[in-house]
Chains A and B, each alone.
Chain A
Amino acid sequence: MEEALVRAVLFGTPILLAALGALLAERSGVVNLGVEGIMALSALAAFAAALGAGPWVGAVAGVGAGVLLSLFLGLFAITLRANPFVAGLAVAALGLGASGILGKRYEGVPLENPLPEVPLALLSLLLAFLLHLLLYRSRFGLYLRSVGENPKAADLFGVGVEGVRYLALGLGGGLIGLGGAYLSLAYRPSWTDGMTSGLGWVAIALVILAAWEPLRAVFGAYLFGLLFFLQFRLQGSVPIPSEAFAAMPYLLVILVLALSGRSRAPRALGQPFERGR
């Protein structure tokens, strides 16, 4: 049982970080569907940097890559007012594709000095609390939420809507990048194409499941981690076929999504802001 809780936390950590990143952007009204690609490219950047300059530099590189790719998404979704959903999917594809091509020479290369998982897991937990405080106890959080709920009103009160959105998207990208770095530097200290294996998409679903609350995201991420572990822990000892087990975490996510239908998204989510319209 203790083992299961440890696994829940350690496997939940990259999902939590990515979900926190997406959540932060969404509270400001920007949808980030690029999470999977951002994680993948960050994982690669982190791994490449770690080989040359050590794992902690690698982690910073992962965060940096996450910020940059998210700001790139912002260019389309915020400044150019492109359809944010399409732009997000494009960034997801771009990140996955680019990491696959650029990462070829890192395939099959071991990482000598991986990062320890436990401190990173604790850090991500701390970040969830900090994000909660940021959203509800700081002036910036007030601006951020108001931009996500009613950008026109926020604009009238003198809040720079686009600036706040860029900041939220960029900071969120850093969290997603840290999630990617966790994968390639700690969880599985090596690089392979497609190593995010869908965790980014799970994180996006988790934001809705958590009703856009950082502390609920903690619970959701660990629940997913627990179920993921249990499917293998219980396989063979209960008469459920392994294929059904494999679907269980995802089925649960869908179920909770269906049940959490009442939770309300930020009102201006996915709407590009244009002054005077």
Chain B
Amino acid sequence: MRKLVWLLALLLGMGLAQGEKLKACFIYVGPVGDAGWTYAHDVGRKKAEAALPWLETRYVESVPEAQALPVIDRFVKEGCQVIFATSFGYMEAVLEAAKKYPDVIFAHATGFKRAPNVATYMADFYQVYYLNGLAAGALTKTGKVGYVAAFPIPEVKRHINAFALGVRAVNPKAQVLVRWINAWYDPAKAREATEALLSQGADVFAFTEDTPTVIQTAAKKGAYSFGHYTPMLKFAPDHVVSGQIVHWDVIYIDFLKKVKEGVYTAKNLQNVDYFWLLQHKAVEMGADYGVPINPKHVPLLQKAKMRVAGKEVAVYDRIMALLKDMSSPKPTFDPFTGPIRDRKGVVRIPAGRKATLEELLTMEWAAPGVVGDWPGEPK
């Protein structure tokens, strides 16, 4: 018994000596159980903690934007060395806090303002949306694809445009019918918007909303759909074709490792911006983890053909080839490669070049084939 106590004391002593845990703290805008945005960040936090033995984390959930500063104050008092703020609306509070606490490292998700001790990060879906668009274009029989959209901001518009470009690449006459619900989370609106699109003939669906409502509604009428943010195959195993899945942990682990190694300090983050895509494994195309396309729908997509550089190829092969390319360290393909005109015919990306990060982040135009109200559409 006494030996055991000594052993424990020894282990404890070693633990303390080894000690020096890095403390990272997270501010969430919603509840961790929302099954969407905050949930995904919290999964990332847990995976980072599991992967990094020297990491210790804390979080506060459902923090209104006006309350961010007091929460940061508390975090700093409790010894947080790295603070992740996971909502666009925290931007000003983070910058203010960064001035107040110059030795603390901040990272702000989806923001665009940085400082010596404030980095920004984002895991983006636009490539995955393009690939899902290819599948949607192949699967629609009515030529009408429905999109239930959250807010008309550049991020959502970029995703709809990438999706529409994919749909049109397979099916040049298809339309993407967009309906705005003006909410990130509102299952009732998502349901009725889907019903409205179904009654207008849409038979394939994608969406931005934090619940599987669109999928469930579409499946009732036999329509195909693409999951969003988390794996949603289980909600309609016969109708979910694929989807967009996020992996925030990839960014968290990379960032925290670099902090631990001293690569990132509170003085050199001015230009640190993660805009991580397929090649960084921050996002995944899939109906479920590791299932890029629901096996039930693979034959359909193999049968469907499209023209690529004059040659006829199966849509399935095209999707898998592009997925492989964009997941490789040096992708050669990008959905927003010119020439791309908007739906009014204005050239938005000239021939032979890719959209810049700036162009991606401020995208307001609507791609050809997009039908519906488009707030903020340039003249």
Residues of A whose CB lies within 8 Å of any CB of B are: 3-4, 7, 11, 100, 103-104, 107-108, 110, 187-190, 192-195, 197, 199, 228-229, 231-233, 235-236, 241-243, 246
Q: A110-B235, A192-B187, A192-B211 are in contact. Are A3 and B34 (CB under 8 A)?
A: no
User: B303 an interface residue at 8 Å Cβ cutoff?
Assistant: no
Q: Which residues of B contact A100 (CB under 8 A)?
A: 31, 33
A191 → chain B closest CB, angstroms = 9
User: B35 an interface residue at 8 Å Cβ cutoff?
Assistant: yes
Q: Which residues of A contact B179 (CB under 8 A)?
A: 232, 235-236, 242
Which residues of chain B in 165-214 are interfacial with respect to chain A, using CB atoms and an 8 Å cutoff?
Answer: 177-182, 185-189, 191-193, 195-197, 199-200, 210-213
- Whole-angstrom distance between the alpha carbons of A189 and B373 in the complex? 30
Q: Which of A11, A190, A241 contacts B192 (CB 8 A)?
A: A11
Q: Are A107 and B372 in contact (CB under 8 A)?
A: no
- Chain B's closest residue to A7 (CB) is B195
B157 → chain A closest CB, angstroms = 13
Q: Which residues of A contact B185 (CB under 8 A)?
A: 192, 194, 197
User: B216 an interface residue at 8 Å Cβ cutoff?
Assistant: yes
Q: Are B33 and A187 in contact (CB under 8 A)?
A: no
Q: A3-B195, A233-B200, A242-B182 are in contact. Are A189 and B33 (CB under 8 A)?
A: no
- Whole-angstrom distance between the alpha carbons of A233 and B194 in the complex? 9
B379 → chain A closest CB, angstroms = 16
User: Interface centre among A192, A232, A233, by most B CB within 10 Å?
Assistant: A232
Q: Which residues of A contact B187 (CB under 8 A)?
A: 188, 192, 195, 197
Q: A232-B197, A243-B182 are in contact. Are A188 and B191 (CB under 8 A)?
A: yes
A200 → chain B closest CB, angstroms = 12
- Whole-angstrom distance between the alpha carbons of A176 and B189 in the complex? 21
User: B86 an interface residue at 8 Å Cβ cutoff?
Assistant: no
Q: Which of B178, B182, B213 contacts A246 (CB 8 A)?
A: B182
Q: A110-B234, A192-B211, A243-B375 are in contact. Are A228 and B31 (CB under 8 A)?
A: no
User: B120 an interface residue at 8 Å Cβ cutoff?
Assistant: no
- Chain B's closest residue to A246 (CB) is B182
Residues of B whose CB lies within 8 Å of any CB of A are: 31-35, 39, 152, 177-182, 185-189, 191-193, 195-197, 199-200, 210-213, 216-217, 230, 234-235, 371-373, 375
- Whole-angstrom distance between the alpha carbons of A163 and B179 in the complex? 50
User: Interface centre among B182, B187, B188, B210, by most A CB within 10 Å?
Assistant: B188
Q: A190-B211, A192-B34, A233-B199 are in contact. Are A11 and B180 (CB under 8 A)?
A: no
Q: Which residues of A contact B189 (CB under 8 A)?
A: 197, 228, 232, 246
- Whole-angstrom distance between the alpha carbons of A233 and B212 in the complex? 21
- Whole-angstrom distance between the alpha carbons of A200 and B107 in the complex? 38
Q: Which residues of A contact B196 (CB under 8 A)?
A: 7, 229, 232-233, 235
- Whole-angstrom distance between the alpha carbons of A11 and B197 in the complex? 16
Q: Which residues of A contact B372 (CB under 8 A)?
A: 235-236
Q: Which residues of B contact A192 (CB under 8 A)?
A: 34-35, 185, 187, 210-211
Q: A235-B179, A236-B177, A246-B182 are in contact. Are A7 and B234 (CB under 8 A)?
A: no
Q: Which residues of B contact A3 (CB under 8 A)?
A: 195, 199
Q: Are B371 and A229 in contact (CB under 8 A)?
A: no
Q: Which residues of B contact A107 (CB under 8 A)?
A: 33-35, 39
Q: Which residues of A contact B152 (CB under 8 A)?
A: 242
Q: A11-B188, A232-B196 are in contact. Are A190 and B373 (CB under 8 A)?
A: no
Q: Are B180 and A235 in contact (CB under 8 A)?
A: yes
Q: Which residues of A contact B210 (CB under 8 A)?
A: 192
User: Interface centre among A4, A11, A190, A199, by most B CB within 10 Å?
Assistant: A190
- Chain A's closest residue to B212 (CB) is A190
14 further interface pairs, Cβ-Cβ under 8 Å (given A232-B196, A242-B373): A11-B192, A104-B32, A108-B39, A110-B212, A188-B211, A188-B213, A192-B34, A197-B185, A231-B192, A232-B181, A233-B199, A235-B180, A236-B177, A241-B375
Q: Are B216 and A190 in contact (CB under 8 A)?
A: yes
Q: Which residues of B contact A243 (CB under 8 A)?
A: 182, 375
